Structure 1
């Protein structure tokens, strides 16, 4: 199969940052995309608008992220101003849907071309140099139609698996809410401030976007507590020229809470730090809450924080709008109501909840594996179709 540089069949438009005074929160103006943060499943959801964009994408253009994650794709469903984190690819001498699917097959190639230390990136020239298959427009259309149909089936399977995950999350929420309600009815509730010593937030210097190696320090990200358990891999590396602020070192048993997030569902997420294999520092988007362990145990408080009554209080007390800079003020945290059973009863509740949630988490891991397999299947199907390995006329298998 003959190939030609992409720039000969499509126009590549490199995004450019406009002056900051032209950019403001989105209302009714020309939507502006800074990068892939606004990407959806196929079309973006803008957070900003720009009255005088330097570069524009038109409806139907393919938007491609040129900064980490390199290669993320969306389709412009209207005109957008685009920032320097994006390129627009406009089909000129090729089928637009075939171009869309073919670009999916080029993500690994783009990542191999990406350069940079703070963040990896590619240029518009890199994208224009990608080798595009020189096949007839009618064949491109057939391949695009085939992939539209086959990937729609995979998307449906993915949606069903995600629905199952959501139901499992609701089951967890139901379990902890039942325990919360029963304990509150029997023992009463107190404000969190009555069972804590102090609340602190950490330090967020400019870090290297990679995991820390042996002898290096890491600074955790806000996402380290998502999902209700501590994720030590969610960190960045503290640069060698910066001295770690030891007062923010994380220790086994620390009780952490997310205080800032772009998602109202994630703000207020909590986790207890397990035994660590690397040295990590608290970031300023996470609260470390020092509890009075004569009155409460961290694991019990963590479960209660996931209950519906507490989550409602957290969301009511959060400042900001979804998708923007949401912040959970410390006074709101101090006023959260939690049941106060005796320590022995707290330990019993934690043990019972841990056992039930462990079974649910096992089912969630199985669903995660299935979602990974579906993603692999989708990518393999796309690559095989656009490279001619599948006869899409019959979809009967691999060509000899």
Structure 2
């Protein structure tokens, strides 16, 4: 039997009838314990909960100089990133350490199972609930507050059942994560092979034709702009969007998700994208800044953003050729040497930096030959990478579906065969 219980103001979720619920305020109390600068630094990650900062090589955020403003938490404490709770950046800490002073930290007053609560409070239904409780004008500016969290209903099975669910999820998600890690390693190997093939071809061109700066092969570089609001709102002639930085990635143009320009903002059509445009990211993380792509479709009312340059090749110069060369080791090394920034999480390129890229001085007919040769050598790798990435996406979806099914009591983990459950749960 199941029972429909609302977590707070959201949609009801079906739970087993023998489970009970309690408001968050009856299980946790808000505590802000600062002035512990010598404790280990912790962070809250969307997919991992509370982690040690030193354990995450992908954490480029710098710690504040004054660590006295950080909050001390202990094992069992509930930690909420108030700005990113709607994305699932919450967790029960398994560690003692300090977290951002802007987080919301709760000391436990209950005797429930910590590992079960960690799975439950990071599950899909609760992430959706944090989103419904958050307030703000834009997605990257929304916040959740302690007062809004107090009424959150925490639905709990008996204590022994909590332990069984936590043990099951620890084992099953570890198995899924190992498989995902193997897929990720395969993706890395395929990427390395693709780069090696491209580098070999491009280096032969440098040797055969010599090298010149990119400035001799282009007419101009346009920097995108952030659209400005009109003083008097008015309807634009059509729906316009602004390209996301992520649309330019490793030589491929993927404009499936873009930012929509509000109706009251007029588009500057001089920044409208066209098929054949050669794009270069102006700012990004150190390994992605200067990434390139050629617009290979007819973009519908899409504007160039301020974090992307549009490079205009001269007559007789192929944008696809420039993109392939820019993905090569020689240009990537040059970018690494000139990119600058005050943070490891964001570095920038100047237009002048791009104009100095070393490019082989190849005749137009040989440019097309290079593009075809690279495509022939890398297409099979690219197709396999696409298959692997789809599998990774499917694994992530099934992992989340399995967690949600387990913490909402959709099956009995004591009799479930983990492999069959994982394959049978719909993402």
Corresponding position of 2:128: 108
Provide the C-alpha distance between the structure 2 equivalents of 1:206 and 1:90, rounded to a whole number of angstroms.
45
Corresponding position of 1:63: 79
Provide the C-alpha distance between the structure 2 equivalents of 1:64 and 1:361, rounded to a whole number of angstroms.
39
Q: Does 1:308 align with 2:324?
A: no
Per the TM alignment, residue 117 of structure 1 is displaced from its structure 2 partner at its CA by 4.1
Q: 1:4 to 1:41 in 2, by over 3 A?
A: closer
Corresponding position of 1:237: 260
Q: 1:178 to 1:41 in 2, by over 3 A?
A: farther
Match of 2:412 among 379, 384, 391: 391
Per the TM alignment, residue 344 of structure 1 is displaced from its structure 2 partner at its CA by 0.8
- Number of aligned residue pairs: 378
Per the TM alignment, residue 341 of structure 1 is displaced from its structure 2 partner at its CA by 1.6
Q: Does 1:185 align with 2:185?
A: no
Corresponding position of 2:89: 72
Corresponding position of 2:296: 274
Q: Does 1:290 align with 2:303?
A: no
Provide the C-alpha distance between the structure 2 equivalents of 1:121 and 1:390, rounded to a whole number of angstroms.
34
Bigger CA drift: 73-82 or 222-231?
73-82
CA contact 2:250–2:327 (8 Å) conserved in 1 = no
Bigger CA drift: 51-60 or 361-370?
51-60
Per-residue CA deviations over 1:104-150 (Å, capped at 9, x if unaligned) read 22223433555544225544344443322233333322322221122
Provide the C-alpha distance between the structure 2 equivalents of 1:379 and 1:159, rounded to a whole number of angstroms.
16
Corresponding position of 1:221: 244
Provide the C-alpha distance between the structure 1 equivalents of 2:371 and 2:181, rounded to a whole number of angstroms.
32
Per the TM alignment, residue 98 of structure 1 is displaced from its structure 2 partner at its CA by 1.1
Q: Does 1:352 align with 2:373?
A: yes
Corresponding position of 1:98: 116
Provide the C-alpha distance between the structure 2 equivalents of 1:181 and 1:338, rounded to a whole number of angstroms.
10
Per the TM alignment, residue 278 of structure 1 is displaced from its structure 2 partner at its CA by 1.8
Corresponding position of 1:118: 138
Provide the C-alpha distance between the structure 1 equivalents of 2:382 and 2:113, rounded to a whole number of angstroms.
44
Provide the C-alpha distance between the structure 2 equivalents of 1:88 and 1:206, rounded to a whole number of angstroms.
38
Residues 116-155 of structure 1: matches in 2 within 5 Å?
116-119=136-139, 121-155=143-177
Q: Does 1:3 align with 2:26?
A: no
Partner secondary structure for residue 48 of structure 1: coil
Provide the C-alpha distance between the structure 2 equivalents of 1:40 and 1:3, rounded to a whole number of angstroms.
25
Give the superposed CA RMSD: 3.2
Corresponding position of 2:425: none
CA contact 2:29–2:107 (8 Å) conserved in 1 = yes
Corresponding position of 1:51: 66
Corresponding position of 1:23: none
Provide the C-alpha distance between the structure 2 equivalents of 1:232 and 1:300, rounded to a whole number of angstroms.
21
Partner secondary structure for residue 333 of structure 1: helix
Provide the C-alpha distance between the structure 2 equivalents of 1:179 and 1:221, rounded to a whole number of angstroms.
31
Q: Does 1:332 align with 2:348?
A: no
CA contact 1:91–1:99 (8 Å) conserved in 2 = no
Provide the C-alpha distance between the structure 2 equivalents of 1:341 and 1:282, rounded to a whole number of angstroms.
29
Partner secondary structure for residue 284 of structure 1: coil
Q: Could you state the TM-score of these two structures normalised by the residue count of structure 2?
A: 0.78
Provide the C-alpha distance between the structure 2 equivalents of 1:125 and 1:206, rounded to a whole number of angstroms.
35
Provide the C-alpha distance between the structure 2 equivalents of 1:130 and 1:249, rounded to a whole number of angstroms.
46
Corresponding position of 2:16: none
Q: Does 1:156 align with 2:198?
A: no
Q: Could you state the TM-score of these two structures normalised by the residue count of structure 1?
A: 0.83
Corresponding position of 1:251: 274
- Structure 1 runs not aligned, ≥5 long: 19-26, 208-212
Bigger CA drift: 171-180 or 65-74?
65-74
Q: 1:12 to 1:178 in 2, by over 3 A?
A: farther
Per the TM alignment, residue 361 of structure 1 is displaced from its structure 2 partner at its CA by 2.1
Provide the C-alpha distance between the structure 2 equivalents of 1:317 and 1:272, rounded to a whole number of angstroms.
23
Per-residue CA deviations over 1:200-222 (Å, capped at 9, x if unaligned) read 21112479xxxxx9922222222
Per the TM alignment, residue 314 of structure 1 is displaced from its structure 2 partner at its CA by 0.6
Bigger CA drift: 197-206 or 70-79?
70-79
Provide the C-alpha distance between the structure 2 equivalents of 1:96 and 1:64, rounded to a whole number of angstroms.
15
Match of 2:219 among 197, 204, 209: 197
CA contact 2:223–2:309 (8 Å) conserved in 1 = yes
Provide the C-alpha distance between the structure 1 equivalents of 2:104 and 2:178, rounded to a whole number of angstroms.
29
